[in-house]
Structure 1
Amino acid sequence: MPAPGETLVRVTRSGGFAGETHTLVVQGDGSWSRLDAKAGPEGAGKLSEQGLAALRTALREADFARLPGIATGGPTIYDGFFYIFVHDGYEVAGEQESLPPALVRVVDALPPFTQY
């Protein structure tokens, strides 16, 4: 487990109808920051204890060491999202519809990618 000030997970989401890129960085203590495409700050906050526990559980169950570097196999969704996850020294990427259920649970446990 990362220490409170160390990065727990970093997730970049790009694409969608508007073609936007946003990155969420969650620290070990549950504090998070949201960055725009140029790595400029867009927002920040802190997960509740329950939210942080849910994210840690989702990350552990995803078992990044066993995931392929690129998730494939789902249908092509035009204007869909593409995700890049960095956790515990591993990087996993994939289109929204190709993400395994364990990574979908990680996405669901994250703070919102946009302010609205």
Structure 2
Amino acid sequence: MCSAPPSPRNDKTPVVRSVHEAHQLLEAERAARVYVDGGRTIQAFLAAGLIDEITVSIAPVLLGRGRRLFGDLDNDVLLTLRGHHSTHDDGLLRATYDVHTPVGRKAGQEKTVEGMGR
């Protein structure tokens, strides 16, 4: 959850068990940019309106079956393309989008997130 080593005033790495706890910790640390990864974790942060940018990497493989990238979301999430790039050696295409908060909910307004197993 940390994007940098623990602060010099505290050598312990904090552990959080919910998006709400993570949001409080990040605000207390005045974190400006945070990397969030992992399917359920991203889903929970999206549901809480806490993701403002997302990069989707597309691999040159078509899968016959599998899990949906973002699972079930309560609302459609509007994205606006910010930029893209590809790498020739591995064939990956990366698209970066701005995430827009769903209508009727302000960024940071959380709701209960079920099934966040860690």
Normalised to the residue count of structure 2, the TM-score between the two structures is 0.19
Considering fraction of residues, name the structure with more helix: 1
Considering fraction of residues, name the structure with more strand: 1
Compare CA radii of gyration and give the structure with the larger one: 2
Normalised to the residue count of structure 1, the TM-score between the two structures is 0.19
